[in-house]
Amino acid sequence: MVRISFGGERVDVPDDLGRALLAALQEQPVEPPKASTFEELTGLVERIGGVTRHLNTVKELALSRADATGGYSNRRALGDAAGMSPSQLGRVLEGHGLPRDRRSGGVDLVVAFRTTDDGTLHLADETDVADLNSFTLPVDPAPTETAPREFAGRELIFYYRPQVPIARADLGRSAGHTLRPDGLGLIACVTEPVFDALFGDRRLDPTRSNGR
């Protein structure tokens, strides 16, 4: 086993995985694994699969955040960096709530929410949401160590502004994280204040629903 440490955190990984990560970061040629038994090799495949899924999610969040940095991001450069065709990149960004065509589309932007158990509106005044569309998401699972206890385990009504241009949405750190109500075909982005209030809530999804 190889021990990897970063920022005070340590994790033990199989030698083959450690060598592969090091080679990838150094852009070195691929070497075959040294493991030989079925159990060792399938365990290696499982660990690599988990790392790959995590890195793909981080990659797509980075793409989303880069695209949301301004009204005129260079999608050709984004596609080149990601190794994606324009159509592939468009599907990935669309799956994170961003418009496939920046010239004609915007984002459905959640700006506030209400806790249904006590009727309290958060992050806005009643007059601010009076004319806004809304949707309700069911109760999130019970609080965990990573979920804010104030809202975890409670049903929430979310208020959103439809098709806000990216330059005005100012997604910042929240880019790529979305809320997806069932049955509405809606993938809603969130403002930074909503993101900060809900971060750790499993309803705030950093993944996308459509494949490439």
pLDDT digits (tens, 9 = 90+) for 128-161: 999 999 999 988 776 666 555 688 888 999 999 9
Residue 189 near residue 109, CB atoms below 8 Å: yes
Predicted local distance difference test score (pLDDT) of residue 145: 60
Q: How far is CA 44 from CA 19, 22, 35, 55, 138, in A?
A: 12, 15, 8, 16, 37
**If you average pLDDT over each of 20-24, 112-116, 143-147, which comes out highest?**
112-116
- Give the mean pLDDT of 155-177: 94
3-class SS at 150? coil
**Distant-in-sequence, close-in-space partners of 195: CB < 8 Å, separation ≥ 6:** 173, 174, 177, 204
pLDDT exceeds cutoff 50 at 211: no
